[in-house]
Amino acid sequence: MKIAVYPGSFDPVSNGHLDIIRRVAKIFDRVYVLVSINPSKKYLFTTEERVDLLKRAARDLENVVVEASNKLVLEFAREKNAQVIIRGVRSFLDYQSEITLFSFNRSIDPSVDTLFLFPSTNNLFLSSSSIKELVMFGNDITDYVPEGLAETITKKIKERL
The 10s digit of each residue's pLDDT in 73-113 is 999 999 999 999 999 887 767 677 787 877 888 888 899 99
Q: Kindly give, in sequence order, each residue whose CB lies less than 8 Å from that of residue 107, ignoring residues fewer than 6 positions away.
A: none
Shortest CA distance to 75 belongs to which of 115, 114, 109?
Answer: 109
Q: Which residue out of 17, 50, 87, 132 is catalytically annotated?
A: 17
Q: Which residue out of 41, 42, 107, 111 is catalytically annotated?
A: 41
How many domains are contained in the chain? 1
Q: Which residue out of 9, 14, 36, 128 is catalytically annotated?
A: 128
The verdict on whether 69 is a catalytic residue reads no
The verdict on whether 17 is a catalytic residue reads yes
The verdict on whether 160 is a catalytic residue reads no
pLDDT over 90 (residue 64): yes
Domain that holds residue 18: 3-159
Q: Whole-model pTM?
A: 0.92
Shortest CA distance to 9 belongs to which of 53, 43, 56, 48?
Answer: 43
The verdict on whether 41 is a catalytic residue reads yes
Confidence label for 123 from pLDDT (cuts 50, 70 and 90): confident
**Cα 126 off chain centre by:** 12
Segment 57-75 mean pLDDT: 96
Q: Which residue out of 23, 55, 56, 90 is catalytically annotated?
A: 90
